[in-house]
């Protein structure tokens, strides 16, 4: 079972995993920030599999905490159980089971039990990385100097900005930022966005909660990721920058750098 963690999760040393022709360097960390008394984000960087997950609980309280812990535990457990098969059907099934268990976990709680979920699962041969996404945490890819937001936010704010309902800096957009259309624990148990992306040596991937993406603008994110430090130092820099920008939310980040596989020792 996932245990309740202290508010900050120190950035752990970078892990190196082999996936076929690629070596993945991975690190993650989380800080509580200056607004909340506890950390309702949950982070998982797997010790053995090329798998990383970030979840962000909705609101404060035990329902939020239960949602993030249950979602992470369930999704990771299903991916491990199905390994080495990684495909759309299996990931959809993992997300569906995650929805069911979070709904059950919410039964004892009076308030909302829900969270976001953004996961990266790399196939054993390293050919593709699968993104599984519900909510407004995010996945970015830095490739050849271009930082791209690969996921979309499942919020009314995203729809409003996309369709020109209101300016980005308007009060309407600010309110709509907190109206999630899809999340884990939603009564309708919506399906996630599922995206398979080819991995290329030199890529850098970032999974993060909105405590990072809402406070650090595009150019700041790009510059920190493009510094080409090893992932643990990059994660530390991202979290420190979120605190310096105000620390208005729990902030969690996972950085994955993709390299050619190291030659086998003789």
Q: Which of these, 78, 35, 80, 105, lies nearest to 249 by C-alpha position?
A: 35
Asked whether residue 3 carries a pLDDT value surpassing 80, the answer given is: no
Q: Which of these, 192, 156, 251, lies nearest to 71 by C-alpha position?
A: 192
User: Quick count: other Cβ atoms within 10 Å of Cβ 163?
Assistant: 8
Q: What is the dihedral of CA 77, 198, 195, 82, to 10 degrees?
A: -20
The pLDDT of residue 2: 39
CATH 3.60.40.10 fits 17-259, yes or no: yes
Q: Which residues of 13-32 are buried (b: 16+ CB within 10 A; e: fewer)?
A: ebbebebeebbbbbbbbbbb
Q: Are 65 and 111 in contact (CB under 8 A)?
A: no
The pLDDT of residue 6: 44
What are the beta bridge partners of residue 146?
143
Share of the chain above pLDDT 90, in %: 86
Checking 104-108 for CB contacts under 8 A at 24+ apart, the result is 105/66, 105/67, 105/70, 106/63, 106/66, 106/67, 106/185
What are the beta bridge partners of residue 70?
none
Which range among 5-14, 103-112, 119-128, 158-167 shows the weakest confidence by mean pLDDT?
Answer: 5-14
The pLDDT of residue 262: 73
The pLDDT of residue 253: 98
Going by C-beta distance under 8 Å and a sequence separation of 6 or more, which residues neighbour residue 266? none
């Amino acid at each position: 079972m996932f245990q309740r963690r202290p508010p900050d999760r120190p950035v752990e040393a970078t892990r190196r995993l082999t996936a076929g022709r690629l070596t993945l360097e991975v690190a993650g960390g989380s800080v509580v920030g200056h607004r909340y008394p506890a950390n309702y984000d949950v982070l998982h960087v797997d010790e053995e599999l090329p798998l990383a997950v970030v979840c962000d609980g909705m609101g404060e309280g035990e329902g939020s905490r239960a949602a993030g812990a249950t979602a992470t535990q369930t999704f990771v457990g299903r991916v491990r159980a199905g390994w080495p098969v990684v495909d759309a059907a299996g990931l959809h099934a993992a997300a569906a089971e995650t929805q069911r268990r979070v709904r059950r976990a919410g039964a004892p709680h009076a308030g909302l039990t829900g969270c976001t979920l953004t996961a990266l699962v790399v196939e054993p041969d390293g050919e593709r990385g699968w993104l599984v996404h519900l909510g407004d945490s995010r996945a970015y890819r830095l490739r050849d100097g271009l930082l791209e937001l690969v996921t979309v936010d499942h919020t009314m704010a995203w729809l409003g900005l996309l369709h020109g309902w209101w300016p980005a800096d308007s009060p309407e957009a600010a309110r709509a930022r907190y109206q999630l259309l899809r999340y884990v624990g939603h009564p309708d148990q919506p399906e996630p966005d599922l995206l398979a992306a080819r991995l290329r040596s030199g890529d850098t991937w970032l999974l993060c909660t909105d405590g990072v993406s809402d406070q650090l603008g595009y150019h700041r994110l790009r510059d920190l990721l493009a510094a080409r430090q090893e992932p643990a130092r990059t994660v530390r820099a991202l979290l420190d920058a979120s605190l310096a920008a105000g620390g208005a939310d729990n902030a969690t980040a996972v950085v994955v750098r993709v390299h050619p596989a190291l030659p086998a020792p003789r």
